[in-house]
A and B are shown apart, each in its own frame.
Chain A
Amino acid sequence: MRMTISEKIIASAAGLEKVSAGEIHTVNVDRLMSNDGTTHLAIDMYNTLLKKPRIADKDKLVFIIDHNMPADNPKTAAAHKKMRDFAREHGIAFYEGKGVCHQIMMEEYVRSGELIFGADSHTCTYGALGAFGTGVGNTDFLYAMVTGKSWVLVPPTLRFHLTGKFREGVYPRDLILTIIGDIGADGATYKVMEFTGEGAKAMNINERMVLANMAVEAGAKTGIFEPDEAALEYLENHGRKPKYLFKSDPDAVFEKEYHYDLSKIEPVVARPDNVDDVVSVDEVGDVKINQGFIGSCNSGRIEELRTAASILKGKKIADGVRLLISPASNTVYLQALQEGLMDIFIDAGAMIMNSNCSVCWGGCQGVIGEGEVLISTGTRNFKGRAGHKDSKVYLASAATVAASALAGKIVRADRVIA
């Protein structure tokens, strides 16, 4: 058959035997997610621009309020109300304040083998379960909502072979930042990043999400893993079954293959203002910080919270530094409470926020001021992303963020522990 996982998913969604990179096909979309970043605009378009406003299948839609949650001004509140009223009127699944959209989607909806559109660039996260998730704008979203269909340009696939094991204190987060640093912020534009090998297989689904989630930061259409026992177990624990369990054929065509030995990865940071300006934490120099952030659809899950707690336990964050922690969903929040992690954070002087996008997107809670420096487990470090246009964002692992919050400057976690 000579197809990759992504090609197989697209072929099945297009009702075709075979598709190849470069072709444009009309596909049926399995599920559509939209959040408060743009849904109000899609609803306005639905109400004013369509000749025949209709919803192809309301059961495929999910609306999630997570970006500015809870609302911090009347205009945001109005956008939320528009979304809530529309969901209510049309019987669309609706989540408000329950967590970051991609985490909710993974916990509640995503199945291996599905093709999912989300009106959010990090929809590529769902590749952790072997689904083809990709971000679209609200016009694409609206078209798919009305027709149940969309078009895709079949992307070529880059394959990343992961071997070896991470050393102590090195995390999937360091790996994905390293990869983006190597291939560049447009190194995978319009392509798929497929992760494979023993190193990929050894990761649990949450860890795979860290990788898949940031594929878009290299420009990729999605990041994807072959669904295996870990995926099946995750689905079973969440009460679901896979749609398809696709694997890339041995003779599938990959545009390029990369090899990474996990044991050689170092703790790294991405320096402002580009995700691909990646250096070892030790090379970053003396950088004082004003705020740390642990959370987001990239790194707000139980693994990251455990790591942060192990570093913060019994210690206090540096005077004048703010450390924000936002669990990726209420499910994560509950588990962290049960494991006593929240008590550790509260005692260390951190602020524990409700599950939301927080400063990762910079529209609401935790925004930083003029000239301030943030170290974050979020997805982007663009200029002005976290607040004031003259502020700076460094991206790093939860361990590096926690350690830096203790030191008041960017440091490697093992330096603080020692």
Chain B
Amino acid sequence: MEKSKVWKFNHNVDTDQIIPSQYLLLPTIEEMKAYTFEPLIKDFAKQVQPGDVIIAGENFGCGSSREQAPRVLKELGVRAVIAGSFARIFFRNAINIGLPAIICKEAYDKVKQDDVVELDMSEGLLKIGDETLTCTRLPEYMQTILNAGGLIEFLNKEEVE
């Protein structure tokens, strides 16, 4: 299991908080990522380290269909987003770009900011302190996309076969 530092967020974290509208038309994700979570945390983009995980409450990623939201997180090296539940489009987008979006009902109440957790994605296990939580498994179809590294890689593979 790999160790990850926790960034803890509340319920209903919406896409405008993940990446505000005014930055969406910047030419690249590279330029956009500096503004990740700007309304919520000063300099998140500078502080987050590759391999960190986000743990949040219910309805993470509600709001718009902007794929920029999961993409800035992936670009910053966020290893996975673990939430009680996800908004539909965010969930789909995350899988499509190869960012693990993991549903785990109990995690939110059991962690605090800066905790270190261990995550085993292949088994769907999240270890917090001495406790090991089991995460909800993805439908097989979505797992296949995620395993391919995202929908585009999945498509490119299909094209070869």
Contacts and interface: CB of A to CB of B under 8 A. Distances in A.
A and B directly contacting (CB within 8 A): yes
Interface of A: 24, 36-38, 40-41, 44-45, 49-52, 67-68, 75-76, 78-79, 118-121, 123, 135-140, 142-143, 146-147, 151, 153, 185-186, 189-190, 216, 219-221, 274, 361-364, 367, 380, 382-385, 387, 389
Interface in B31-72: 38-40, 58-59, 62-68, 70-71
A49 B152 contact: yes
Query: Which one of B27, B29, B58, B156 has the greatest number of beta carbons of chain A within 10 Å?
Result: B27
A136 B92 contact: yes
13 contacts: A38-B67, A41-B67, A49-B156, A123-B65, A139-B96, A185-B59, A186-B12, A189-B59, A189-B85, A219-B59, A221-B88, A362-B22, A363-B22
B150 A139 contact: yes
Contact of B21 (A40, A79, A385): A385
Interface residues of B, number: 46
A143 B152 CA distance: 7
Contacts of B93: 136-137, 139-140
B125 interface: no
B27 A121 contact: no
A185 B12 CA distance: 8
Contacts of A367: 22
Query: Which one of B26, B28, B40, B92 has the greatest number of beta carbons of chain A within 10 Å?
Result: B92
A219 B22 CA distance: 23
A418 to B, nearest CB: 37
A161 to B, nearest CB: 24
A382 B17 contact: yes
A142 B85 CA distance: 26
A307 B152 CA distance: 47
B92 A140 contact: yes
B93 to A, nearest CB: 4
